[in-house]
Amino acid sequence: MKVCSIASGSSGNCIYVGEGRDHVLIDAGISRKRIVDGLHAIGVEPEELSGILVTHEHVDHMKGIPMMAKMFGTPVFATGGTLDELLLKDKNQDMKRENLYQVYSDEPIAIGRFHITPFSMSHDAAEPVCYTVETAGKKVGIATDLGVYDESTIHHLSGSDCLFLEANHDISMLEAGSYPYQLKCRILGSRGHLSNEAAGQLLCKLWHKRLKYVFLAHLSKENNYPGLAYEAVKCELWEGLGMTTLPFSMSVAEREQPSELVSF
């Protein structure tokens, strides 16, 4: 299984998961050109994509979808509520209905060799979901854009070999920053985004001996720094699990360029 982040952050998100001839993206919130360039960087042609799995309809998760669908006929998978919103945003009608596939929370689907499970998350969108992708005994768990996590989140992500976890903001930076009060309340609320500390606390609940890679994802440009997110999560691991050294690889998914392609 091969995984990388093509882009991550409040300005655009796109994650690649591949195995053999099967290739999927989770979200496509950057331009078609950046998606294609990112795929080429890891040796994948856009025509080879088996599908794009959409978490929700916010622009930083769907910006490139209409053009990917138009140029390459890429199948798009999303919940009914998300599909409705995508069609409303597709002013030029680039997406064809025959390439749109509805998924349902907690109902697994098969794409090639991938066993994919959408599961509900707490975010201010129409019908948002996170995803797990499994094949050949390997599992990737992806959880970004969630204001809070619960036992269902933990259940679905448990046993992952690789995790993408949101570490959106530092609470003190957000509270002291220039965002309007209502926006601060939205981000800090139960349908907003996970803080660095919350990401670390969630990771404490998900750690197991087979976990190999953790990507801290969807960092705010204005209210976080990569080094701050990394150290805050590491501190939670020390406080929660007594970890003085990390038994897995942890990195911050970058905003403007693809991460390392990892295999497991």
- How many angstroms separate the CA atoms of 196 and 188, rounded? 12
Residue 104 DSSP code: B
CA-CA distance, 105 to 120, in Å (whole number)? 6
pLDDT of residue 130: 98
**Amino acid occupying residue 252:** V
**Banded pLDDT at 123 (limits 50, 70, 90):** very high
Mean pLDDT of 250-259: 96
pLDDT confidence of residue 213: 98
For 84-102, how does the pLDDT look when each residue is reduced to its tens digit (9 = 90+)? 999 999 999 999 999 999 9
The pLDDT confidence band at residue 66, using thresholds 50, 70 and 90, is: very high
pLDDT band at 152 (very low <50, low <70, confident <90, very high): very high
- β 22-26/249-252 pair status: unpaired
Q: How far is CA 67 from CA 28, 31, 92, in A?
A: 10, 8, 10
Distance CA 263, CA 162 (A): 10
Specify the amino acid at residue 185. Answer: C
158-168: average pLDDT: 98
The model's pTM: 0.96
In the chain, the percentage of residues whose pLDDT exceeds 70 is: 100
**Domain layout of the chain by residue ranges:** 2-255
Average pLDDT of the chain to the nearest whole number: 97
Residue 246 banded pLDDT, cuts 50, 70, 90 = very high
The model's confidence at residue 138, banded by pLDDT at 50, 70 and 90, is very high
Provide the pLDDT confidence category of residue 261 given band limits of 50, 70 and 90: very high
For domain 2-255, the CATH superfamily is Ribonuclease Z/Hydroxyacylglutathione hydrolase-like (3.60.15.10)
